[in-house]
Amino acid sequence: MRIMKNISIITFLFFAFALQLKAQNVEVPLRFDNYHDNQQTIDAIIALEKAYPKLANRILVGKSDEGRAIWALEINNPNTGTALSKPGVYVDGNIHGNEIQATEVCLYLADYLLKNYNSIPRIKKIVDENAWYIIPISNVDGRFHFFQDPNTMNSNRGLRIARDDDHDGLFNEDFPDDLDNDGNIVEMRKADPNGMYRTSHEDPRIMVRVKPGEQGEWTKLGNEGIDNDGDGRINEDAEGYLDPNRNWGFNWQPDYVQRGAGSYPTQGKSIRDISHYLIARPNIIVAFAFHNYGGMFLRGPSTGDQGELPQQDIKVYDYLGVNAERIVPGYKYLISWKDLYGTYGDFTDFTDNLIGSYGFVGELTLSESVTYKGVTDEKNKTEFSGAYERIKFNDHVAHGTLFKEWTKYNHPTYGEIEIGGWVKMSTRIPHPFMLEDLVHRNASAVIFTAENTPKVSLELISKEKIGNDLYKVRLRLSNSKAIPTMPYSAYKNKLYPADMLKVSGVKVISGGEIQNIYFNKVNYKEFKPEVQFFYIPGFETKEFEFLVSGGNAKFEYSSRKAKNQSLNVSVK
């Protein structure tokens, strides 16, 4: 028995060692000519932490509904201050399970910051001056199942919370079925002279709707699948649909108002844990959430009933959004509800209104990038040139890997049918050869924003004796960057304490903000003039005047989102 026990222990240690080796199989710098699955993403986070231990720190954010770990990689230089003492930049990706390139942007950003810290001065500067909070996979269950299971390009978006979609008392019992076991869920079609589709004249693989008077050839039967539960329907109860970008704890509405909302805000465990993570980091001044289709940088509000943002904040968004457009050609800077569609319980509404930050959703991938078109083709456009161009891109650029050719299949319900169409790693998801340009440009948009987080300097303008043991001291606080020390909406709504300038070490007789330094106009504060509250817009200054008795004055500026400053002035 003892021998068998020892053998079991040795066997366990061997496999544990083997798993540890597997968890270290990703080398840095990382490569971005392919997609990282869940385990490879975790391996990458571990590898980055190990390669850059002075700057990178892996943090367990929480667990998913299926018990998978949600990891953040935090990047901060402790020699330039604690993370909470600096402006925070938050970036996440893959909140929808099928939006896998969003994770790659996050990994690329982390890898780029760390590997270039000692070689690119501008990168060193933004790492030294900001705290970085990066969660590559928000929806860890969704990403796992998207890679692991057969899917369409659009399926497996939500959280894995069981739901009875067809109201039969059973949960998630009728998923799509991979009938030909190729790892994809594609389309089914059946030859039918009365069908609503015919074969395109441009390419036999493409189906187009018939026009009045035309003969039909095909009936579309939906995605691959069979009637698993014998209720006369196919694929009607797949994984429970709770949309993780409809479940945040601000401006939430129930499922009958907006599909995918869930039963209550933060019903998804991952949403709840990430919410707590964000709230525990009040220094976050800007947040990026990357999704996967359309080529857009979206700002809030996410619903029209909230009204427009204050003009002071729009000015900041416009500066950052227009420059993001220039960094990523073809992408558009848009307003979520107005230019796309409204969403309740949205992530950036949560960060804007409860964290008090500026927030963007980055919708990755342009359909125009899937191109097989020459200059002369512009002169000879045909009715179905878009679909034709896409199928030729598959043939001659992706070499047949994006489209499954139509093949016959004997279906238990429909009889002889054909299965074919676009595979899961297509259309919404760029081919790996296109990935590096996508991740670099979108990471660069984040880097530009980080270069514009608030940077405040505190300087003495003048000190002057104006009476017996009475001095006039003037100070200037300057924000040299585009982003204010807090959003104006947060300041106006008193979401959290405003910036503060505090005087100690001397008796303050009076003090206030200078309205016009040339005409000596000062808005003196009536009570407790030694403490002044305010915020500093981007590219602007605040000037203050204090009347104090002689001594050694200490002026301390503190801010939740900008780095604190102090200045000692001898007033004698």
Domains, the chain, with CATH or none: 52-146+258-367+432-450 (3.40.630.10), 162-239+386-422 (no CATH), 456-571 (2.60.40.10)
Distance of alpha carbon 348 from the chain centroid: 9
Spell out the residues 6+ positions from residue 311 whose beta carbon is closer than 8 angstroms to its own: none
pLDDT, residue 24, reads 46
> Residue 375's pLDDT is what?
72
According to the model, what pLDDT value does residue 381 have? 60
Query: Dmax over Cα atoms in the chain, in whole Å?
Result: 104
Q: How many CA atoms lie within 13 A of 2 on its CB side?
A: 0
**pLDDT tens digit string along 186-223?**
999 999 999 999 999 889 999 999 999 999 999 999 99
Angle (nearest 5°) at CA 274 between 488 and 267: 105
Q: What is the pLDDT of residue 183?
A: 96
Nearest to 377 by CA among 542, 214, 495, 202: 202
pLDDT in tens, 420-446: 999 999 999 999 999 999 999 999 999
55: closest CA among 28, 79, 37?
Answer: 79
pTM: 0.93
pLDDT recorded at residue 357: 98
- What pLDDT is attached to residue 378? 66
E strands in 64-123: 69-75, 88-93
User: 29: cis peptide before it, omega within 30°?
Assistant: yes
The reported pLDDT for the residue numbered 401 is 96
- The helix, strand and coil proportions of the chain, stated in percent and rounded to the nearest 5, come to 30, 25, 45
Q: What is the pLDDT of residue 11?
A: 41
Which residue ranges in the chain fall short of pLDDT 50?
A: 1-24, 383-384
